[in-house]
Structure 1
Amino acid sequence: MPLDIATLKKDIKKLLTEENTKRDDGTTSIDNIVNQLGDAIDKFVRSGTVTTTVTTTGSASAQAGTGTGSIS
């Protein structure tokens, strides 16, 4: 599954809207934004699929190899 940019944008907009509607002195806003933005980015990165090609050497019962790929 490709990275879900639409959900990331929705989550960022939600957290900024929530902070914008608060009427306190703003001392906790930075911490709240950092925590919620970190969670949104983590969810975004984990939404991607890693595709890799593995090249192996060895016999049918003993394999060794490395893989390279990309996240989409």
Structure 2
Amino acid sequence: MSLNKAGLIAALVQVFTQEQTEESNANQSVQRIATGIANAVDSFVKSGQVNVTVTTTGTAEAHTGTGTGTII
């Protein structure tokens, strides 16, 4: 499973669209936008799935191993 780029775009558009209608002071606007972007990026990164193949060698007993993977 790949990262949900369309979901990130939708979340960012929502952040900016909501802020368009706000009439609060600029400092609060900047804070709301930054928080919205941070939340969107956090969700985006956490939407990734890492697929890992672990290969072990040895007998038929239980083994542990490490593996590396990439977000696809």
1:22 and 2:22 correspond: yes
Q: Which amino acid counterpart does residue 21 of structure 1 have in structure 2?
A: T
Which stretch of structure 1 is more off in the superposition, 4-13 or 35-44?
Answer: 35-44
State the SS of the aligned residue for 2:20. helix
How many residue pairs get aligned? The number is 72
Question: Can you give the 5+ residue segments of structure 1 that lack an aligned partner in the other structure?
Answer: none
Which stretch of structure 1 is more off in the superposition, 49-58 or 2-11?
Answer: 49-58
Which stretch of structure 1 is more off in the superposition, 46-55 or 3-12?
Answer: 46-55
Residues 57 and 65, structure 1, Cα contact 8 Å, conserved in 2: no
Which stretch of structure 1 is more off in the superposition, 10-19 or 62-71?
Answer: 62-71
Aligned-pair CA distance for 1:55: 2.5
State the SS of the aligned residue for 1:70. strand
1:9 and 2:9 correspond: yes
Aligned-pair CA distance for 1:48: 1.6
What TM-score, normalized to structure 2?
A: 0.82
What TM-score, normalized to structure 1?
A: 0.82
Once residues 60 and 38 of structure 2 are traced to their aligned partners in structure 1, the CA distance between those partners, rounded to angstroms, is 44
The sequence identity of aligned pairs, in percent, is 42
Once residues 56 and 62 of structure 2 are traced to their aligned partners in structure 1, the CA distance between those partners, rounded to angstroms, is 10
Question: Can you give the 5+ residue segments of structure 2 that lack an aligned partner in the other structure?
Answer: none
